[in-house]
Amino acid sequence: MKTLKDLEIDGKRVFIRCDFNVPKDEFGNITDDRRIRSALQTIRYCIDRDCKIILASHYERPEPGKYEERFSLVPVAKRLHSLLKIKRDIFMADDVVGPDAQEKAAKLEAGDVLLLENLRYEAGETSNDKIFAKKLADFADIYVNDAFGACHRKHASIHAITQFFDLEHKAAGFLMGKEVNFFSKVLENPVRPFVAVVGGSKVSGKLQALTNLITKVDKVIIGGGMAFTFLKAHGHEVGNSLVEDDLLEEANNIILKAKKLGVKFYLPVDVVAAQEFSENTTVKFLPIQEIPIGWMGLDIGPASTRLFREALNDAQTIIWNGPMGVYEMDRYSKGSMAMSNNIAQTHATTIVGGGDTADVVQRAGDVDEMTFISTGGGASLKLIEGAVLPGLEALEN
Ligand code: AMP
């Protein structure tokens, strides 16, 4: 893959598409700044080469055209400034391609950094609009995509923008290079036993990845909301737990395929259940067989944690994507925390993918114990699916 290193960038205006979509707590504090830290290498490389740097990122899902403060990248600019440890300010634009961004970009000097506002304030970003992409492209001579976490999406700053740069003027950033190489190495040649731990809310989001993983791994462990579709497909009563009824057959097919391939398939055997999707309610620790009608499973229970730990014991490679429960609420976070601790304690090569899962690992204090924490959930899933990332493909055309 061609990276920034292969381009002539000295003194040029460089547009770097980053993924600064970091998690925040209820007070707006950034709880995990790994995505910002991961972008530093590329940014510093450009600063050292006297580039004029224009950074762009999306942040969550604002309504286009509506500038709400909670979606602003201002906190990111502040954190970036303290992480870069540079004396000069980072310029923050009040808009994306509007007059303020234009004016500030025009004033940049060698080594200056400007961060544009949330790309998704503009409707053209998600619709991959060519006119919007051209406005972004006009900021720079060089285009760098370091937004691994977003490059599975055909959005203007990832995809349409690349048509305005020829091969000598666009490349992947260093983070992107690292991410892609790591996943391809592990998926092509894993040390076995290779275990996939998959959780999160829904089967639908991870169906393709699961179908492909089944052909590569020795064991699959399923947790989180998605487990209930599999459990229901097995004939269990799962109450009001998250279930995708239209995927019951698909879930069954995955279980059958696993069986056929000799892949061991693990589902939770107990849950932490509640009557409401809330922390302030009575919870019960119940075997899967005993979820009452009207109750929902919001975390895996202690027996599942022990079972999963046993299954992980001999693993040599582990890929983990998706929390085991509604980890955002303390009461339902124990299964995910324990999973993090248990994975961290193995001697395996451990790869964590997904913003939520990385957040769990951070909260559990296991960041240093993991071999690699990917900054992209959806994008890493796409790599696991064996799909081509639109953002990467566009860099090569
Ligand atoms: P995903 O984006 O698919 O990886 O899902 C992550 C989300 O799944 C987190 O926000 C969790 O709160 C949610 N989640 C995990 N377990 C459950 C569950 N049992 N019921 C509902 N949501 C869940």
pLDDT of residue 376: 82
Looking at every residue in the chain, the average pLDDT score rounds to 95
pLDDT of residue 298: 98
List of the chain residues with pLDDT < 70? none
pLDDT of residue 25: 85
Q: Which atom of ligand 1 is nearest to the CA of 228?
A: 19
Distance, CA of 357 to CA of 336 (rounded, Å): 8
pTM of this prediction? 0.82
Q: Which residues contact 3 (CB under 8 A, 6 or more apart)?
A: 171, 172, 173, 174, 176, 177
Domains and CATH numbers, the chain: 4-175 (3.40.50.1260), 183-385 (3.40.50.1260)
Going from the Cα of 92 to the center of ligand 1, the distance in angstroms, rounded, reads 33
* Residue nearest atom 4 of ligand 1, based on CA coordinates: 200
Residues 264-299 pLDDT 10s = 999 999 999 999 999 999 999 999 999 999 999 999
pLDDT of residue 257: 95
Query: Of the listed 223, 322, 354, 355, which one is catalytic?
Result: 355
pLDDT of residue 397: 80
Q: Locate tokens 């600063």: which residue? A: 47
How far from chain centre, in Å, is Cα 16? 18
Secondary structure string (H, E, C) spanning 324-391: CCCCCCHHHCHHHHHHHHHHHHCCCEEEEECHHHHHHHHHCCCHHHCCEECCCHHHHHHHHHCCCCHH
pLDDT of residue 170: 98
Q: Please, what sign has the CA dihedral across residues 167, 173, 179, 182?
A: positive
Q: Is ligand 1 within 6 A of the CB of residue 323?
A: yes
Going from the Cα of 334 to the center of ligand 1, the distance in angstroms, rounded, reads 13
Q: Which atom of ligand 1 is nearest to the CA of 201?
A: 8
Going from the Cα of 238 to the center of ligand 1, the distance in angstroms, rounded, reads 16
Would you call 202 a catalytic residue per the annotation? yes
Distance, CA of 32 to CA of 80 (rounded, Å): 13
- Mutating to test ligand 1, I would choose from 60, 201, 361 the residue with most ligand atoms within 8 A of its C-beta, which is 201
- Two tokens, residue 144: 């760098």
Query: Of the listed 24, 202, 257, 306, which one is catalytic?
Result: 202
Closest CA to 380 of 168, 184, 191: 184
pLDDT of residue 308: 98
Q: In what order do the strands lie in the sheet with 113-115?
A: 90-92, 113-115, 52-56, 13-17, 142-145, 170-172
Would you call 52 a catalytic residue per the annotation? no
* H or E, element range at 392: helix 390-396
Q: Is ligand 1 within 6 A of the CB of residue 287?
A: no
* Residue nearest atom 2 of ligand 1, based on CA coordinates: 200
Would you call 378 a catalytic residue per the annotation? yes
3-state helix, strand, coil in the chain (%, to 5): 45, 15, 40
Distance, CA of 166 to CA of 170 (rounded, Å): 7
